C-alpha cells in the first residue's frame, strides 16, 4: 500500500457499488489522525476538501473556507468543531472564524493570502486608534479574522500561513494604499484564544494582533519576514488581559513583540489597558527594531508585563519604551529578567518624544506615566550604546531599577555608554557604570528589581491532549 502522506495512519480502499450501467468505480477514502495540545478539544472534525477546497496554489478557496466554517457553526453549542486543512497550497482571501472552533493546519499545509483586493473586506478603523495606520479611512480585514468570539484555536503541526506580503509592501512604499494593510491574524473582542505551532511568513503588516481580548496563549510560533519589510511586527497584544507568549522565534522588519493599547485621544477615551502579560523564551532578530517594545501606542495603559529568557541577535534594542506627550496612559510594573543580547545598537531604550500622532487633535497636556521598570540578569555583547533613557521634562520616568546587568561594548562603541535625561531610579551591579541619575546602591540591592511573587492567572491554565481523525476523500 502506498502512503499518501506521513500524517496518514490508516488507508482503506472501499469498492463502491456499480452504477446503473454496470461499470464499477473505486474510491479511496483515507483517514488521517492527529494529536495536539489545546485549551479545548472538539467533538466534530471536517476537512476543507469536504467543501470543495482545492490545494493547487492557484484556485481561490475563499468560498470553501466560508462554506466550511458556516457549516461547522452548527456545532458551536454542541461540542465545538475543527476544520482540518490538508497538505497543499490553499490560496484564499480573508476569512472569519467562529466560537468553539479550531483551525488545524497539516504540517505541509500552506495558506496563501490572495492578492485580489475584492477578497479583502474593509473594516472601520479600530476605535482605540481612530484611524488606520497606513491610511485614515478603513482597514483591510486581517487574513484570518475573528470578532466577539470565545474559545478559538489556530494551530497545526507547524503548518504555514503565508501573507505574500511583497505585494502589499510595494503598494505601501508607493503610497498606493486606499486602506490600511491587513494583519495576518487578528482576533477582536474575544476570550480564550490559542495560536500555536505555526509558521507565519511575509505578513502584509503586523503578524499576530489580539485586540480587546483576554485569556490568550501564543505558543511555538515561528515568524519570518525580510528584516527590511515595513511594519512586520511579530506579536502585538493590544488592549488585552492575561496573555502568555512562549517559545516563539521571530525574524522581522519591526518589533518582535510590541505591547500596545491605543493611540492618543482615541486610546485615552477607549481606555482598555494591556495587563498581565508573560513573555517567555523568545528569540528575536530585527536589526531595525526592538526585541520587546512597549508602545508607542500605549494610551489605554500597559501594566504588569513579565518577560524572561529572551534572546536577541542583531536587533536594534533589547527593551524599548516609546511614548510622547499627548499619549496619556501609563507603562508601569514592567519586569524583565534573563536576557541574552548579541550585537545591538542599544541594550535599553526609553523615548519620551516618539511623536507619531494619530492627528492634530491630541491633548499636549496628556502626559504618560512611566513608572516601575525593572531589568535584571542581562548579559549583552557587542553593544554600541548601553542605554539611552529620555523621559519627558516635567514628567520624569520613575522607579527604574536595573540589577546584575553586564553590557559588553563593541569596538566602535560611543564614548558615553549611557545617556539619561528626565528619569529617576537605581542600579546594582551594572557594567559599564551607569549614569548619575541611576546611582549604584551596592550589591545587596540586587533583588530590588525582582519579579512579583504571585503568578499570573494564565499560568494556571493547562492544555488538554486532543486526538482527532478525519476522512479525506
Ligand X SMILES: *[C@@H]1O[C@H](CO)[C@@H](O)[C@H](O)[C@H]1NC(C)=O
- Residues serving a catalytic function are 254
Question: Minimum CB separation from ligand X for residue 89, in Å?
Answer: 15
If the CB atoms of residues 135 and 446 are measured against ligand X, the closer one turns out to be 446
Residue from 410, 419, 431, 441 binding ligand X (CB under 6 A)? 410
458 DSSP assignment = G
Span near ligand X by CB under 6 A; candidates 36-44, 52-60, 114-122, 379-387? 379-387
- Per DSSP, the three-state class of 454 is coil
Nearest CB to ligand X, comparing residues 46 and 325:
46
334 forms bridges with which residues in the sheet? 305, 373
Nearest to ligand X of 303, 315 (CB atom): 315
The three grid cell numbers given for residue 141, joined into one nine-digit string: 480585514
The answer to whether 288 and 358 have CB atoms below 8 angstroms apart is no
Half-sphere exposure of 301 (CA within 13 A, CB side): 16
For ligand X, the closer CB: 248 or 367: 248
The residue assigned the cell 504540517 is: 107
Considering only 189, 369, 441, 461, the residue that binds ligand X (CB under 6 A) is 189
Contact by Cβ (8 Å): 217, 237: no
User: Is the CB of 113 or the CB of 324 nearer to ligand X?
Assistant: 113
Three-class DSSP labels, 123-135: ECCCCCCCCCCCC
Closer residue to ligand X, CB minimum distance, 387 or 392: 387
CB closer to ligand X out of 403 and 466: 403
Q: Closest Cα partner for 273 from 231, 223, 329?
A: 329
Cα 341 versus chain centre, distance: 21
- Residue 224, classified by CB atoms within 10 Å of its CB into exposed (0-12), middle (13-18) or buried (19+), is buried
Binding residues for ligand X, total number by CB under 6 A: 18
Segment lying near ligand X (by CB under 6 A), choices 234-242, 259-267, 351-359, 375-383: 375-383
Q: In which region does residue 271 sit, left (phi positive, over 0), alpha (psi from -120 to 50) or beta (all else)? A: left
- Minimal distance in Å, beta carbon 53 to ligand X? 13
Q: In the set 338, 435, 440, 448, which binds ligand X (CB under 6 A)?
A: 338
- Answer for which of 99, 164, 382, 398 binds ligand X (CB under 6 A) is 382
Q: What is the DSSP letter of 48?
A: G
Sign, CA dihedral 192-196-200-206, equals positive
Euclidean distance between CA atoms 345 and 395, whole angstroms: 26
Segment contacting ligand X by CB under 6 A, of 10-18, 86-94, 162-170, 378-386: 378-386
- Residue placing its CB nearer to ligand X in the complex, 101 or 354: 101
CB of 190 to ligand X, least distance (A): 9
Cell 514628567 locates to: 395
- Who contacts 88 (Cβ-Cβ below 8 Å, separation ≥6)? 55, 56, 57, 108, 109, 110
Residue 189 Cβ vs ligand X, minimum distance, rounded to whole Å: 4
Find the binder of ligand X among 377, 409, 422, 449 (CB under 6 A): 377
Residue 410 C-beta: closest distance to ligand X, Å: 5
Cell of 40: 479545548
- Concatenated DSSP letters for 74-85? GGTTTT-EEEEE
Of the residues 40, 115, 171, 222, which one makes contact with ligand X according to CB under 6 A? 222
Site for ligand X in 426-455 (CB under 6 A): 446
| Among 110-118, 177-185, 316-324, 374-382, the segment contacting ligand X (CB under 6 A) | 374-382
Terminal-residue alpha carbon distance, the chain: 17
Q: Does 343 bind ligand X (CB under 6 A)?
A: yes
Footprint on residues 77-136 left by ligand X (CB under 6 A): none
We find the least distance from the C-beta atom of residue 158 to ligand X, in angstroms, to be 4
Query: For residue 100, what is the DSSP state?
Result: S
Contacting residue, 404, 427, 428, 468, with ligand X by CB under 6 A: 404
Write each residue from 148 to 177 as x if it is in contact with ligand X (CB under 6 A), else as -, in one continuous string: x---------x-------------------
Closest to ligand X by CB, 68 or 302: 68
Taking CA 218 as the corner, what is the angle to CA 342 and CA 108, rounded to the nearest 5 degrees? 95
Length of the chain measured in residues: 473
Residues 278 to 307 in contact with ligand X, rule: CB under 6 A: none
CB count in 10 Å sphere of residue 360: 6
Judged by the rule CB under 6 A, the positions of this chain that interact with ligand X are: 50, 71, 147-148, 158, 189, 199, 220, 222, 338, 343, 377, 379, 382, 384, 404, 410, 446
Amino acid at each position: 500500500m502506498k502512503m499518501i502522506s506521513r500524517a496518514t495512519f490508516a488507508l482503506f480502499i472501499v469498492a463502491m457499488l456499480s452504477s446503473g450501467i454496470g461499470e464499477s468505480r473505486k474510491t479511496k477514502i483515507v483517514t488521517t489522525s492527529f494529536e495536539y495540545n489545546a485549551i479545548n478539544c472538539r467533538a466534530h472534525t471536517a476537512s476543507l476538501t469536504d467543501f470543495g477546497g482545492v490545494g493547487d496554489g492557484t484556485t481561490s478557496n475563499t468560498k470553501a473556507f466560508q462554506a466550511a466554517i458556516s457549516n461547522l457553526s452548527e456545532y458551536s453549542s454542541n461540542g465545538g468543531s475543527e476544520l482540518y486543512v490538508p497538505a497543499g497550497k490553499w490560496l484564499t482571501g480573508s476569512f472569519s472564524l467562529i466560537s468553539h472552533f479550531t483551525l488545524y493546519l497539516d504540517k505541509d499545509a500552506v495558506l496563501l493570502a490572495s492578492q485580489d483586493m475584492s477578497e479583502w473586506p474593509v473594516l472601520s478603523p479600530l476605535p482605540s486608534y481612530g484611524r488606520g495606520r497606513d491610511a485614515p479611512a478603513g482597514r483591510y480585514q486581517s487574513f484570518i479574522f475573528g470578532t466577539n468570539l470565545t474559545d478559538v484555536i489556530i494551530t497545526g503541526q507547524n503548518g504555514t500561513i503565508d501573507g505574500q506580503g511583497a505585494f502589499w509592501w510595494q503598494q505601501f512604499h508607493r503610497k498606493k494604499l486606499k486602506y490600511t494593510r491587513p494583519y495576518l491574524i487578528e482576533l477582536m473582542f474575544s476570550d480564550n484564544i490559542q495560536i500555536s505551532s505555526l509558521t507565519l511568513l511575509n505578513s502584509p503588516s503586523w503578524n499576530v494582533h489580539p485586540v480587546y481580548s483576554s485569556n490568550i496563549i501564543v505558543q511555538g510560533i515561528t515568524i519570518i519576514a525580510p528584516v527590511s519589510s515595513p511594519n512586520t511586527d511579530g506579536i502585538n497584544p493590544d488592549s488585552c488581559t492575561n496573555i502568555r507568549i512562549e517559545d516563539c522565534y521571530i525574524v522581522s522588519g519591526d518589533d518582535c513583540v510590541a505591547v500596545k493599547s491605543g493611540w492618543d485621544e482615541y486610546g485615552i477615551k477607549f481606555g482598555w489597558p494591556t495587563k498581565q502579560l508573560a513573555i517567555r523564551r523568545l528569540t528575536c532578530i530585527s536589526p531595525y527594531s526592538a526585541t520587546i517594545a512597549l508602545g508607542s501606542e500605549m494610551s489605554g495603559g500597559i501594566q504588569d508585563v513579565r518577560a524572561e529568557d529572551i534572546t536577541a541577535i542583531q536587533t536594534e534594542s533589547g527593551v524599548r519604551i516609546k511614548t510622547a506627550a499627548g499619549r496619556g496612559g501609563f507603562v508601569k510594573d514592567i519586569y524583565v529578567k534573563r536576557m541574552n543580547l548579541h550585537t545591538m545598537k542599544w541594550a535599553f531604550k526609553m523615548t519620551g518624544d516618539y511623536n507619531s500622532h494619530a492627528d492634530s487633535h491630541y491633548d499636549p497636556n496628556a502626559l504618560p506615566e512611566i513608572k516601575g521598570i525593572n531589568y535584571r540578569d542581562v548579559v549583552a555583547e557587542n553593544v554600541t550604546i548601553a542605554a539611552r533613557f529620555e523621559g519627558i521634562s516635567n514628567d520624569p520616568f520613575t522607579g527604574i531599577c536595573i540589577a546584575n546587568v553586564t553590557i559588553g561594548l563593541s569596538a566602535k562603541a560611543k564614548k558615553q555608554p549611557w545617556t539619561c535625561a528626565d528619569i529617576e531610579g537605581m542600579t546594582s551591579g551594572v557594567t559599564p557604570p551607569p549614569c548619575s541619575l541611576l546611582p549604584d546602591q551596592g550589591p545587596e540591592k540586587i533583588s530590588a528589581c525582582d519579579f512579583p511573587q504571585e503568578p499570573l492567572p494564565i499560568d494556571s491554565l493547562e492544555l488538554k491532549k486532543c486526538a482527532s481523525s478525519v476522512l479525506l476523500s
